[in-house]
Amino acid sequence: MPVYRYTPANIPCKLCGDGFDHQQNAGDPTLVACPKCGQAVSRVLAQPVNTPKLLKPLSISSAKQAGFSVLKRTSNGDFEKQ
């Protein structure tokens, strides 16, 4: 499960400093408010901590060119080829 970095609108925040890490599934909605202080937060892009393969996302077309099958997760949890 990737960990995303969030930064509050006003830095530093008394409760969460310059931001916090939040673990979430890729399909989960992005947090819009700090769970500690409630102020608006924005997700920092491209910094998943424990999923290095996502550091350099491949486009679907380049993945297909490289011979990979691209699977898409559907809403019911299955994967389908696209």
**Three-state secondary structure call for residue 29:** coil
Query: Considering beta carbons, is residue 12 or 57 the nearer one to Zn ion?
Result: 12
Residues that bind Zn ion (CB under 5 A): 8, 13, 15-16, 34, 36-37
Min dist. Cβ of residue 39 to Zn ion (A): 6
CB of 28 to Zn ion, least distance (A): 19
Q: How far is the CB of 16 from Zn ion (least distance, A)?
A: 3
CA–CA separation, 43 and 60 (whole Å): 23
| Tokens encoding 58 | 């491949």
Cβ-based nearer residue to Zn ion, 5 or 34 = 34
DSSP 50-82: S-GGGSSPPPHHHHHHTTPPPEEE-TTS-EEE-
When the beta carbons of 1 and 40 are compared against Zn ion, the nearer one is: 40
